[in-house]
Amino acid sequence: MQLLADCVQGEALSVELALREALSNAILHGNRADARKLVKVRCCCERGKAVSMVVRDHGQGFKLDSVPDPLAPDNLTSDHGRGVFLMKTFMDDVTFERHGAEVRMRKKLVPEPAQTFLH
């Protein structure tokens, strides 16, 4: 994760959380915790500009509109069901391909404003 932290300075925790959620969903829901199935991860760092990640599993995918709203009153006390919500909250772009068996995420970095020094 150090390489990720170097790539997305100031945003590493957000990106790491989104990646952990994508990996968890791929392992548990996509691959159904089958240790014989792999999860493929591709990460591209544009140092100082953005980081892009693709997480792909061997599952059949899912329908995004069938994912329950984690902010609905009945779901607020649930101990699961927030992965997609967290990915969308912490990343700038999140799309699902291959019927949901692949998630593509991108976090753009906002350059720090130039500092002005007064004499």
Number of domain units in the chain: 1
State the chain's maximal CA–CA distance in angstroms.
64
Domain CATH number, residue 12: 3.30.565.10
Q: Edge-to-edge strand order for the sheet containing 93-97?
A: 40-46, 50-56, 102-108, 93-97
Over residues 46-96, the pLDDT tens digits come to 877 899 999 999 999 999 888 888 888 888 888 878 999 999 999 999 999
Residue 40 lies in a domain: yes
Range of the structural domain that residue 78 is part of:
2-108
pTM: 0.85
Work out the pLDDT band at 116, boundaries 50, 70, 90.
low
Q: Is the pLDDT of residue 99 over 90?
A: yes
Q: Residue 113 falls within a domain, yes or no?
A: no
18 assigned to some structural domain: yes
Q: Is residue 116 part of a domain?
A: no
- Domain-located, residue 70: yes
Reported as type and span, the H/E element at residue 22 is: helix 12-25
In a domain, 118, yes or no: no
The verdict on residue 114 lying in a domain is no
